[in-house]
Chains A and B, each alone.
Chain A
Amino acid sequence: SQQGEEDPQALSIQEGENATMNCSYKTSINNLQWYRQNSGRGLVHLILIRSNEREKHSGRLRVTLDTSKKSSSLLITASRAADTASYFCATGLMDSNYQLIWGAGTKLIIKP
């Protein structure tokens, strides 16, 4: 399997519910980032969490990082229709300044 795998591949929930997506990786990282991509658009940076951090918040977004399990989760609270998008994690590797490893993404659908 690849570095930076998201789980699940697809998620469909009702508006107002919370959405949780997970990202696993294999090698040591400097940081882990989450991005959102709306259909037909470029990616938008959401949150960056460094390897010495355990949790970060940004508005309705909460990211956790567990380096012992080599995993991260992105929680979107009180989901809205506008949150419908694909979400990608990207890991910045410890031994490379110029390489981000991207997962294949989680497709999130918020049903009204």
Chain B
Amino acid sequence: ELKVEQNPLFLSMQEGKNYTIYCNYSTTSDRLYWYRQDPGKSLESLFVLLSNGAVKQEGRLMASLDTKARLSTLHITAAVHDLSATYFCAVDPAGGGADGLTFGKGTHLIIQP
């Protein structure tokens, strides 16, 4: 059974600081997704990482994938309050993009002014 673990699960940080969220998974996959969820809302797609060594950046967020270590990271640079949300990573177990995703428990991020 595929397991996806995120850490930390809760993170409170100040504006302007940098931090990294980690996502470990237990089986081979080369397709990993990052989503953002605001309270009471649905999932907003942030990144799709499709191969080992993939790195994608959008604004203050950068995601990377190491399939050999079964690890993805979401790095936040110079955090701003608007980035406060819950962040989920999700793994496609078959790697082909055709299967249901297995999600981590999420990282609840609070960025304080």
Binding between chains A and B: no
Q: Interface of B with A (CB < 8 Å)?
A: none
Q: Interface of A with B (CB < 8 Å)?
A: none
